[in-house]
Each structure stands twice: as structure tokens, then as C-alpha cells.
């Protein structure tokens, strides 16, 4: 696996873990003051997904994986930045759960993409 893939994967794992921890603490009302940090880490996570998608293109990973990763990053970004405006009131918990599931799915998609032939072993080398 080439170093850039390892760095992107590591960044996704760290950012994703921090997002889960911060998100839960914000959700239960303990760290509302760190909402901006949560948003910033979310943007870093999405950019890391897109970097991984770019590396996947270079490694000839099937386009469906690349397109899915790019599209999911857009969904993550849009939902994360607009969730406060969606289903306000007592039903807002539905959006919060959706936000959590979309984020966790993005992390899982990144892991599956990183395991695709070409990325997992690195580019093919001439004999």
C-alpha cells in the first residue's frame, strides 16, 4: 500500500473516531461549545475521503467505488452542514441518527475502497 493511501486511511480513521466521540458529547449536551471543531473535523474527513477516491482513480479501482465515495462525501458534507435546519423540534433526533449513520457508512466505504485491488497492494510494478 502506498504511503498516500496509508495517510488518507489513517486520517479517516482518526477523524472518524473523533467525530463519533465529539458527536455523542455534543448530542447529549456536554460539549456544545465544540460544535465548530466537530464541523471542521467533518470537513477534514470528507476531504480525506475525496483524496482516497483520487488515489483509487490512479490505482484503477473500479469507477463505481470511486463514484460512490465521492458522492457519499458530498452527502456527508451537505447533511452535516444543514442538519440543524432539518426536521427541527421533537423529530430532530431522526436527522441526528441519520447523520450518525451517514458518517459511519462513509468511514466504512473508505475502508472498503482502501481494500480494493490496486490500492491494497499498491500499483502494479513492471517485471
pLDDT at 22: 95
pLDDT beyond 60 at 126: no
CA dist 52 and 57 (Å) reads 9
**pLDDT, tens digit, 9 for 90 and up, residues 74-87:** 999 999 999 989 98
pLDDT at 76: 96
Nearest partner of 45 among 83, 81, 16, judged by Cα:
16
| Cell, residue 110 | 473508505
CA dist 3 and 19 (Å) reads 24
pLDDT at 2: 84
Inter-CA distances, 102 with 1, 37, 72, 110, Å:
27, 19, 8, 12
pLDDT beyond 50 at 127: no
pLDDT beyond 60 at 125: no
Q: Across residues 45-64, what is the average pLDDT?
A: 94
pLDDT at 119: 82
**pLDDT, tens digit, 9 for 90 and up, residues 19-52:** 999 999 998 989 889 999 999 999 999 999 999 9
Q: Are 124 and 97 within 8 A, CB to CB?
A: no
Nearest partner of 79 among 96, 63, 67, judged by Cα:
96
Amino acid at each position: 500500500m502506498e504511503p498516500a493511501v496509508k495517510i488518507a486511511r489513517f486520517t479517516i480513521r482518526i477523524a472518524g473516531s473523533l467525530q463519533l466521540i465529539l458527536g455523542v458529547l455534543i448530542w447529549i449536551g456536554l460539549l456544545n461549545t465544540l460544535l465548530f471543531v466537530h464541523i471542521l473535523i467533518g470537513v477534514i474527513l470528507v476531504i480525506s475521503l475525496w483524496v482516497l477516491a483520487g488515489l483509487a482513480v490512479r490505482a484503477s479501482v473500479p469507477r463505481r467505488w470511486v463514484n460512490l465515495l465521492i458522492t457519499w462525501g458530498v452527502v456527508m458534507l451537505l447533511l452535516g452542514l444543514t442538519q440543524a435546519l432539518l426536521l427541527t423540534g421533537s423529530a430532530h433526533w431522526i436527522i441526528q441518527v441519520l447523520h450518525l449513520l451517514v458518517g459511519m457508512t462513509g468511514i466504512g466505504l473508505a475502508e472498503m475502497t482502501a481494500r480494493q485491488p490496486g490500492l491494497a497492494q499498491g500499483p502494479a510494478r513492471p517485471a
